[in-house]
Chains A and B, each alone.
Chain A
Amino acid sequence: MKRISMMGCPNVGKSVLFSRLTGVNVISSNYPGTTVDFTKGYTRIGGEKFELIDVPGTYSLEPISKAEEVARTMLQEADIIINVVDATHMERNLYLTLEILGMKKPTIIALNLWDEAKHIGIDIDVRQLEKLLGVPVVPTCAITGEGVKALTLKLRAAKQSEQIKPMTEEERWRKIGEIIRKVQVVHHRHHTIWEHIADITVKPATGIPIAMIVIFLIFLFIIQIGNLIIEYLMDPIFYNYYGPWIVEFVTAFYPEGLVHEILIGNSTLESLNFTQSFGLLTTGLYVPFDMVLPFVVTFYIMLSLLEDTGYLPRLAVLVDTGLHKLGLHGSAIVPTILGLGCNVPGALATRIMETEKQRFIAATLMAIAVPCMAQSAMIFGILGKYGMRWILMVYGTLALLYISLGLVLKRIIKGESPELLLEVPPYRKPDPVTLLKKTWTKAYGFLVEAVPFVLLGVFVMNLLYISGVIELLSGLFSPVLTTLLGLPKEAIVALIMGFLRKDIAVGMLLPLGMTPQQLTISCVILSTYFPCVATFVVLLKELGIRDMLKATGLMLIVSLTVGVLMRAILI
């Protein structure tokens, strides 16, 4: 199968074009444009199947960071290159284009955002551009899909450029100046309404209040819509259809005994007990599908909206000053927000930070103080009925930890904390198809990753109970749990489960009959003491063993200290 690599600068609409060209079958190890990981998909053009790769956006091929190195490798491995160029910013986009053409690979250029360029008064002579560059150029508008068909039809005409030779940096800028003079005419234009909005959302006096409202609305939306989905869709499915069916089904084969116990626990037709029965087919499925998935879906819809409209970089600018005090800069908002969804992509996204010091701080703060959506969903679930203040107490404590740890780490970790340098793209109308596809990919990824771990965890827990290991461990850890933290010694089960999955671990606190104070302390400890195994593996790869040991030591100390302090205050 031939491989097509899509290359271009950041913010040129490359990902939208990519999703236009590929089917639903997209494998994304991470967020396009935010990490070095790339997205891969397949497309059929004229009966032939192609592998399509969305190469992370870079401004040039000079290896100044890992992103450029990866881009360079992907270029060399590709059979055909689609170079996506922003028609509204041709001058600086052409630098990468000239570098790519100098590599002598069959190339075709998609002149994207064509309609926007026309709209703001930029005329480009496509024929002349084709002639000067020596490769086909196709105007496209990825959002509306215009020109995408033409691009696929012309794909076979992709060729090596005869006109563009490898050249030095100065020669390249000179050549770009020449090309721009020959093919582009810019007419006078007025500020558009979106540009005015762009300005007021980045000016501190107006931007900061707007950011607060936006964040508040996003959380409101995630919680409200998530709850609606649970109440009107998932709960009826589980309680009216799935529950009675599975209890009857299992009871028919195993009326009682070990297998019955492991599969559905103490669930009966009268009391389905999805949250506490702790059976593989009851709690093991109810927690990921009913209690967590609705929030995961709503979270990723909102996150995609933030990314696709272009609001995220503005948020990064507004929080930059604050994050500087923590040894980070504005871009660290990306791993933090991603971490609120799932710590794994959050950990991967710490790569966008330039120095080792910043990566360590960003990763450690996320692992300690940023609970993932699955865990948050369960925290809402078990603390919600006692009132909002307990939930606020959990998140308030975590926020306080994020800030105070950052202040300390900035001082004790050696290394540099460089400044922010970031393009703030214009606002764009998000494409619903791309948005839904992104959300689907994330939700599907969550199910594939989470469900096996939850089931494994439930199964192992059942075995540990039956074999008496839990009792042994509860006795062993009761000095720490009971004496220091004021929790029942049985809470050890949640901490053990927390290594595997945080969501089901929070769920295991329910049957212990704890007070809201104890639940609050447990939720904070579960968030801070150790990352789940999936995050741990990624962090280990990203940070290396030494830094990971440091981070782990910090987690244990912080979690114990905060737990003891909270106990002194609350109980």
Chain B
Amino acid sequence: MSGRDVKVTPLTALLPGEKARIVALGHGKGRQRHLRTMGLMEGKIVEMVAMQPARGPLVINVDGTQIAIGLGMARRILIEKM
């Protein structure tokens, strides 16, 4: 139970069914605000719902809302797995 030993990874490292806490949003100020108003905020728990094949978008669940997000955008969002 080493709580200190958390690994920060990009959102894309999450597999379907896994959950993680959002650590940082990564993008510029405007995009960050947009993500927050969609429900993606630091400290929130995300669950990976689906990954589309061939580098397609991810579908994640935050607070009961599903959000589809492109792979490149998702790569810049940092999480710690739970």
Taking Cβ atoms with an 8 Å cutoff, the residues of A that contact B are: 9, 59-60, 62, 64, 88-89, 91-92, 95-96, 120, 169, 173, 198-199, 202-204, 207, 313, 316-318, 320-321, 324, 329-330, 418-426
Decide yes or no: A202 and B50 within 8 Å by CB, A64-B34, A330-B57 being known contacts.
yes
Contact A420 B64 (CB under 8 A): no
Contact A419 B66 (CB under 8 A): no
Is there a chain A Cβ closer than 8 Å to B16's Cβ? yes
A89's nearest neighbour on chain B, judged by CB, is B65
Decide yes or no: A202 and B49 within 8 Å by CB, A92-B37, A317-B57 being known contacts.
yes
Contact residue range for chain B? Answer: 20 to 34
A490 to B33, CA, bound (A): 60
Contacts of A204 in B (CB 8 A): 50-53, 56
Contact B57 A62 (CB under 8 A): no
Contacts of A64 in B (CB 8 A): 30, 34
Contact A92 B69 (CB under 8 A): no
A59 to B67, CA, bound (A): 14
A96 to B38, CA, bound (A): 11
Interface string of B45-64 (1 = CB under 8 A from A): 00001111111110100011
Q: Using a Cβ cutoff of 8 Å, how many contacts connect chains A and B?
A: 104
Contact B64 A313 (CB under 8 A): no
Additional A-B contacts beyond A92-B37, A95-B37, A420-B57 (7; CB < 8 A): A88-B64, A89-B39, A202-B49, A203-B16, A320-B68, A421-B69, A424-B66
A226 to B49, CA, bound (A): 38
Report the minimum CB–CB distance from A133 to chain B (whole Å).
18
Decide yes or no: A419 and B57 within 8 Å by CB, A88-B64, A92-B39, A203-B50 being known contacts.
yes
A89 to B65, CA, bound (A): 8
Indicate which residue in B54, B63, B64, B66 contacts A321 across the interface (CB closer than 8 Å). Answer: B54
Task: Give 5 CB contacts A-B under 8 Å.
Answer: A60-B37, A89-B64, A173-B36, A318-B52, A418-B70
Contact B50 A320 (CB under 8 A): no
A64 to B37, CA, bound (A): 13
Contact B33 A62 (CB under 8 A): yes
B59's nearest neighbour on chain A, judged by CB, is A202
Nearest 5 A-B pairs (CB), nearest first? A419-B70, A321-B56, A59-B37, A424-B66, A203-B50
Report the minimum CB–CB distance from B41 to chain A (whole Å).
8
Decide yes or no: A424 and B73 within 8 Å by CB, A88-B64, A321-B54 being known contacts.
no
A320 to B59, CA, bound (A): 12
Report the minimum CB–CB distance from B66 to chain A (whole Å).
4
A203 to B72, CA, bound (A): 19
Contacts of A320 in B (CB 8 A): 52, 56-57, 68, 70
A203 to B50, CA, bound (A): 5
Decide yes or no: A96 and B59 within 8 Å by CB, A203-B49, A423-B65 being known contacts.
no
Contacts of B16 in A (CB 8 A): 203
Indicate which residue in A316, A419, A422, A423 contacts B72 across the interface (CB closer than 8 Å). Answer: A419
Is there a chain A Cβ closer than 8 Å to B13's Cβ? no
A310's nearest neighbour on chain B, judged by CB, is B66
Contacts of A425 in B (CB 8 A): 66
Contacts of B67 in A (CB 8 A): 421-424
A91 to B63, CA, bound (A): 10
Contacts of B24 in A (CB 8 A): none
Most buried by A among B16, B37, B41: B37
B62's nearest neighbour on chain A, judged by CB, is A92
Contact A60 B33 (CB under 8 A): yes
Most buried by B among A96, A198, A419: A419
A203 to B51, CA, bound (A): 7
A95 to B54, CA, bound (A): 35
Contacts of A203 in B (CB 8 A): 16, 49-50
Is there a chain A Cβ closer than 8 Å to B71's Cβ? yes
Contact B34 A207 (CB under 8 A): no
Contacts of B70 in A (CB 8 A): 320, 329, 418-421
A169 to B30, CA, bound (A): 11
Decide yes or no: A317 and B63 within 8 Å by CB, A89-B39, A421-B69 being known contacts.
no
Report the minimum CB–CB distance from B43 to chain A (whole Å).
10
Indicate which residue in A88, A199, A423, A426 contacts B38 across the interface (CB closer than 8 Å). Answer: A423
A399 to B59, CA, bound (A): 28
Most buried by B among A173, A418, A421: A421
Indicate which residue in B50, B65, B66, B69 contacts A420 across the interface (CB closer than 8 Å). Answer: B69
A226 to B59, CA, bound (A): 36
